[in-house]
């Protein structure tokens, strides 16, 4: 049985004994009296607005921006997120808005895109495990992720999240928009902070299924499990005024994880590493009341260190992120304001092996002192492997120039007004991808080891040599992709009715499509007293392009080589035999831009200190990128993908905190029901739901129905219908303690196994057979109970002197240590045979301790 980790049983009691000081806005005196805490009810769920104080008090795991979306009713996290098997990872989870693909969201930093447009789907919605990086068959472009820069929330001033009625200024998405604003310098006073936050396996309960416990036994690297880890986050912030109207802010964040790993067959213990850093220098100059300049230089790389499973010299690294320089000028003029921005961004994805470009699969022998794979029956060593899979690197360089105009409201009669806004954006991007050298993946095929000469190549002299090889050819390719957009929007106030029509025009020269996105929203003050608002809208959103398509189309075919051992002449040279079976040519011609049509309606009603809200959002997505393979091994990229989703959400919140003696209490409640249908379960590159029907086995049986194609099956991921939360803020200003409670609920997870049944009548679902009597694929399910979890966050301040203070924080996640079932991140498919796919549990109770000194 896998060991359970001890709990920090005294952490809460120790924390409660400390003197405390609140994070709320302080008075300008040296006293510790606090201003009243105001809980702003987010009545309309079109926008989730989080200010700096909200961000500080939310319970989080790794502290990234996506962690802040867990209470957004439009968002679903991947079923594989927060898995106990991957507890040492620090990267952001993947999320879907209203059933849209996880790589089609728009992530923004200070008004500029933070999307990885090169290869964002390489994470396969969290289902690409480390093992995917240890086989060359799918490695054509360096892997990426939806966010180019992994920024910690400690650097963030506010976050606005749009899921419906998205303003016309935003484009190139079909899911949601996550717009984060980084902290600005302060011209009033010098200030700063240094902080540290950590967790580890000894402070974490890791839960595994019975099948996993039996399978793992002595945990080895081949299991892709992380039972040991230490995570640490460091932050430094220095703010220095230069004059009454100028200041500089220097911020640095470092989040790291160390993950010891046992390669028991190889006889090694190594330490994998994860690291994300952000260094930001930001300057502000307030020239006068009408002109404000900011300049930002940001360097944000991240890298991961891995070791190929039981492979000699198998260390490799993946890298991502990059740097950005931008200049913003905000100018107020008579009648409005305009913001002009210029930026240069360079981000890259890279994966490279220390051992180079030659990979050997040796038959086990006495001359080799290591083993990679043993027989499950006899325990004898079968293979000894060594070498590397070379290097893949992709780089995108982008120049951005943009303007946003906002005019003051113009009266149009006694009860009408117009507020106009408009803007334009130009992105000039050059993408480059390369494999600098051929990768040679070699093995021995045959039953006998032939004699070899002492002078042979790719061999063990006198013993064995590699006689089969697949060559993954070197390549170097670039593509220029320019994007142009313009938008206009008018917010019209007509008595008690507000109408907001808008248009976004976009053109990119890769797909060559001109896209027009109409936006329309309305808001009606139904009772004329601001208590009941009815709102809704009709909108269209177009996705961005995928540079992966333009670049992969230029990757050469893989080549198969063989050689023979001639007793008279020795080993022959490598001889080309054919193009390898895993070669894929790409056809990306005539692609349309994917788009999503949205209709939504809702209301919010204020009654005393409470706000009740409800909303319905319908999304229909068309022309989504989808791949299929022809018999001639040409992969066709088509626009055949489609998704439909209905989302109902309900909210109830307090407008201001209630006060009972020393206690201030505020709350917000949210619930969501979502129903999704899609024919594209995977990403724009590969399907994660293999369609294996044949003439003899033409049907799937799934939940009492018969299907002819895997495309018709209900979604296997982002498929949790019901979700709800209750967040309660219990603050004690006189004790200077802030305590956030978050109770979470979601539907129970369902795990499916596919088996082949010779006669449909003998399946687990004979009622679904109809007139079919032959073979079928029978999906049987295992249902797990509904999941309730409780998260806590404590914030405590200890006054030092003046505005100096020492802060302690404690996050207790999954306080009750409930078992929450989910998908195993090492799965090959979302649904398949038991050997392909297994369920797992999320991380149990986990403690995060933090400390900060602020001045």
CA distance 364 to 558: 27
Half-sphere CA count of 793, side-chain side, radius 13 A: 18
Q: Has residue 464 been placed in a domain?
A: yes
CA distance 683 to 91: 19
Rg for the chain, CA atoms, rounded: 29
pLDDT tens-digit map of 211-247:
788 777 667 777 778 999 999 999 999 999 999 999 9
Closest C-alpha among 849, 46, 139, 841 to residue 523: 46
Considering only residues 305 and 34, tell me which one the structure prediction assigns the higher pLDDT.
Answer: 305
What proportion of the chain, given as a percentage, has pLDDT over 70? 88
Whole-structure pTM over 0.85, yes or no? yes
- Judge contact between 239 and 249, C-beta under 8 A: yes
Give the CATH number of the domain where residue 677 resides. 2.40.170.20
Q: Has residue 278 been placed in a domain?
A: yes
In this structure, what DSSP letter does residue 29 have? S
By CB neighbour count within 10 A (0-12 exposed, 13-18 middle, 19+ buried), where does 542 fall? buried
Q: Has residue 689 been placed in a domain?
A: no
Average pLDDT over residues 529-550: 89
* Strands, E assignment, 453-496: 459-460, 464-465, 468-472, 475-494
- Judge contact between 551 and 433, C-beta under 8 A: yes
Q: Give the count of domains, the chain.
A: 1
- Distances in Å between the Cα of 666 and the Cα atoms of 39, 524, 590, 609, 653 are 6, 28, 54, 10, 8
Q: Has residue 756 been placed in a domain?
A: no
Q: Has residue 180 been placed in a domain?
A: yes
Structure tokens at 854: 């602020």
State the alpha helices, DSSP H only, in 472-517.
Answer: none
Burial 689-726 (b: 16+ CB within 10 A, else e): bbeebeeeebbbbbeeebbeebbebebbbbbbeebbbb
Confidence class for position 139, pLDDT limits 50, 70, 90: confident
Q: What does the mean pLDDT of the chain come to?
A: 88
CA distance 334 to 407: 9
- What size, in residues, is the chain? 855
CA distance 343 to 402: 9
How many Cβ atoms sit within 10 Å of the Cβ of residue 160? 15
CA distance 552 to 585: 8
- Judge contact between 841 and 814, C-beta under 8 A: no
In this structure, what DSSP letter does residue 37 have? P
Say what the alpha-carbon torsion angle 829, 718, 256, 8 is, to the nearest 10 degrees. Answer: -110
Q: For 432-474, what is the HEC assignment?
A: EEEECCCEEEEECCCCCCCCCCCCCCCEECCCEECCEEEEECC
Structure tokens at 690: 């293999």
Instruction: Provide the pLDDT for residue 533.
Output: 95
Which residues partner with 657 through β-bridges? none
In this structure, what DSSP letter does residue 355 have? T
Q: Has residue 408 been placed in a domain?
A: yes
- Judge contact between 535 and 523, C-beta under 8 A: yes
Spell out the residues 6+ positions from residue 210 whose beta carbon is closer than 8 angstroms to its own: none
Average pLDDT over residues 194-211: 94
Considering only residues 789 and 125, tell me which one the structure prediction assigns the higher pLDDT.
Answer: 789
Q: Has residue 707 been placed in a domain?
A: no
pLDDT tens-digit map of 708-756:
988 888 888 899 999 999 999 999 998 999 999 999 999 999 888 888 9
Spell out the residues 6+ positions from residue 241 whose beta carbon is closer than 8 angstroms to its own: 185, 186, 187, 188, 189, 190, 247
- In the predicted model, is pLDDT for residue 2 greater than 50? no
- Distances in Å between the Cα of 677 and the Cα atoms of 633, 641, 717, 768 are 29, 11, 11, 20
Average pLDDT over residues 607-617: 95
pLDDT tens-digit map of 16-58:
333 333 333 333 333 334 344 444 444 445 789 999 999 999 9
Instruction: Provide the pLDDT for residue 322.
Output: 97
Half-sphere CA count of 767, side-chain side, radius 13 A: 4
CA distance 735 to 755: 60
Q: Has residue 724 been placed in a domain?
A: yes
pLDDT tens-digit map of 250-301:
999 999 999 999 898 888 899 999 999 999 999 999 999 999 999 999 999 9
3-state helix, strand, coil in the chain (%, to 5): 10, 55, 40
Q: What three-state secondary structure class fits 299?
A: strand
- Judge contact between 468 and 444, C-beta under 8 A: yes
Domain that holds residue 42: 11-450+458-681+716-749+784-854
What's the N-to-C CA distance of the chain in angstroms?
49
How many Cβ atoms sit within 10 Å of the Cβ of residue 415? 11
CA distance 671 to 693: 38
Instruction: Provide the pLDDT for residue 264.
Output: 87
């Amino acid at each position: 049985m896998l060991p359970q980790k001890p709990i920090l049983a005294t952490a809460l009691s120790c924390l409660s004994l400390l003197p405390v000081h609140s994070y709320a806005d302080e008075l300008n005196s040296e006293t510790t009296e606090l201003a009243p805490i105001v809980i702003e009810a987010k009545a309309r769920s079109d926008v989730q607005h989080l200010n700096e104080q909200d961000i500080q008090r939310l319970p989080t795991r790794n502290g990234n921006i996506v962690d802040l979306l867990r209470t957004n009713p439009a968002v679903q996290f991947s079923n594989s997120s927060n898995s106990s098997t991957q507890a040492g990872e620090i990267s952001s989870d993947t999320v879907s808005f209203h059933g849209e693909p996880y790589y089609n969201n728009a992530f923004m930093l200070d008004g500029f895109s933070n999307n990885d447009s090169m290869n964002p789907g390489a994470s396969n919605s969290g289902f690409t495990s480390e093992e995917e990086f240890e086989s060359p068959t799918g490695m054509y472009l360096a892997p990426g992720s939806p966010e180019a820069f992994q920024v910690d929330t400690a650097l963030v001033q506010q976050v606005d999240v749009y899921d419906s009625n998205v303003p016309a200024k935003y484009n190139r998405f079909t899911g949601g928009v996550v717009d984060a604003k980084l902290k600005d310098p302060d011209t009033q006073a010098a200030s700063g902070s240094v902080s540290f936050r950590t967790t580890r396996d000894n402070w974490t309960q890791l839960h595994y299924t019975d099948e996993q416990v039996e399978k793992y036994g002595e945990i080895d690297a081949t299991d892709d499990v992380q039972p040991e880890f230490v995570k640490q986050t460091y932050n430094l912030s220095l703010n220095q005024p230069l004059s009454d109207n100028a200041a500089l802010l220097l911020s640095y964040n470092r989040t790291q994880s160390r993950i010891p790993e046992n390669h028991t067959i190889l006889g090694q213990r190594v330490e994998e590493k994860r690291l994300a850093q952000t260094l930001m220098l930001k300057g502000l100059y307030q020239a006068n009341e009408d002109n404000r300049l900011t300049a930002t230089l940001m360097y944000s790389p991240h890298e991961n260190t891995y070791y190929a499973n039981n492979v000699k010299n198998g260390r490799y690294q993946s890298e991502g992120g990059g740097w950005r320089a931008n200049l913003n000028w905000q100018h107020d003029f008579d009648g409005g304001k305009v913001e002009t921005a210029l930026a240069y961004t360079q981000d890259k994805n890279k994966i490279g092996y220390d051992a180079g470009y030659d990979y050997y699969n040796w038959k086990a022998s006495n001359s080799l002192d290591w083993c990679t794979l043993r027989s499950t029956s006899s325990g004898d060593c079968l293979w000894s492997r060594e070498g590397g899979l070379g290097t893949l690197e992709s780089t995108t360089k982008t120049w951005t120039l943009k303007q946003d105009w906002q005019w003051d409201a113009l009266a149009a009669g006694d009860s009408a007004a117009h507020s106009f806004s408009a803007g334009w954006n130009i992105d000039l991007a050059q993408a480059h991808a390369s494999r600098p050298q051929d990768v040679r993946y070699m093995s021995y095929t045959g039953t006998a080891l032939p004699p070899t000469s002492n002078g042979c190549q790719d061999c063990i002299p006198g013993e064995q040599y590699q006689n089969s090889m697949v060559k993954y050819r070197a390549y170097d390719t670039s593509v220029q992709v320019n994007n142009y957009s313009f938008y206009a929007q008018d917010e019209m106030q007509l008595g008690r009715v507000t109408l907001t029509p808008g248009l976004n025009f976009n053109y990119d020269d890769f797909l060559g499509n001109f896209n027009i996105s109409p936006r329309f929203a309305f808001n009606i003050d139904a009772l004329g007293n601001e208590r009941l608002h009815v709102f809704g809208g009709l909108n269209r959103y177009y996705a961005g392009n995928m540079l992966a398509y333009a670049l992969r189309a230029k990757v050469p075919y893989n080549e198969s080589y063989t050689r023979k051992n001639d007793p008279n002449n020795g080993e022959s040279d490598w001889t080309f035999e054919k193009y390898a079976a895993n070669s894929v040519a790409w056809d990306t011609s005539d692609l349309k831009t994917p788009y999503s049509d949205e209709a939504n309606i809702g209301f919010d009603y204020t009654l005393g200190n409470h706000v009740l809200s409800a909303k319905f959002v319908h999304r229909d997505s068309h022309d989504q990128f989808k791949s299929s393979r022809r018999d001639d091994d040409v992969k066709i990229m088509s626009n055949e993908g489609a998704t439909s989703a209905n989302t109902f959400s309900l909210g109830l919140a307090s407008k201001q905190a209630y006060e009972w003696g020393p206690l201030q209490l505020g709350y917000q409640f949210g619930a969501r029901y979502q129903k999704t249908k899609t024919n594209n379960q995977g990403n724009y590159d590969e399907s994660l739901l293999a369609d294996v029907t044949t003439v003899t086995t033409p049907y799937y049986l799934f939940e009492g129905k018969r299907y002819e194609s895997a495309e018709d099956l209900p979604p296997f991921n982002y498929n949790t219908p019901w979700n709800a939360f209750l967040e309660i803020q219990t603050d004690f200003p006189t004790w200077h303690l802030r305590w956030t409670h978050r109770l979470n609920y979601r539907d129970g997870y369902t795990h499916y196994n596919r088996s082949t049944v010779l006669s449909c009548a003998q399946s687990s679902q004979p009622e679904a057979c109809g007139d079919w009597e032959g073979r079928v694929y029978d999906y049987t399910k295992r249902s797990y109970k509904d999941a309730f979890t409780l998260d806590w966050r404590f914030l405590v301040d200890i006054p030092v002197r003046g505005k100096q203070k020492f802060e302690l924080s404690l996050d207790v996640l999954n306080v009750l240590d409930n078992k929450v079932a989910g998908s195993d991140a090492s799965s090959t498919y979302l649904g398949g045979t038991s050997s392909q796919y297994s369920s797992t549990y999320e991380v149990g109770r986990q403690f995060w301790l933090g400390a900060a000194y602020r001045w």
